[in-house]
Amino acid sequence: MAQPVTAILSRQGELAAKARQFTNDTNEASLLVGRVVSRALSTFKGTEADDVITHAMRRDLDRLIEQLKKARH
């Protein structure tokens, strides 16, 4: 099990690609990913498995994307 920081930072590229698919804007996608990473860094402290962290980050990004979809309609 890697340290949470390593698991969190290693997922940034994957999350950014997913966010860019929705936003079509690199800056907006970066803001979304930054928010997800910030939450993950403040939430996970060292005992969680990498897959738990990854799942939580994906779920968090999905939630933010859904909020943006609702706001745009």
pTM for the predicted model, two decimal places: 0.89
Structure tokens that stand for 31 in this block: 């803001």
> Dihedral through CA 3, CA 52, CA 32, CA 17, nearest 10?
90
> Using one digit for the tens of pLDDT, what is the confidence trace for 22-60?
999 999 999 999 999 999 999 998 888 999 999 999 999
For residue 45, the surrounding DSSP H or E stretch is none
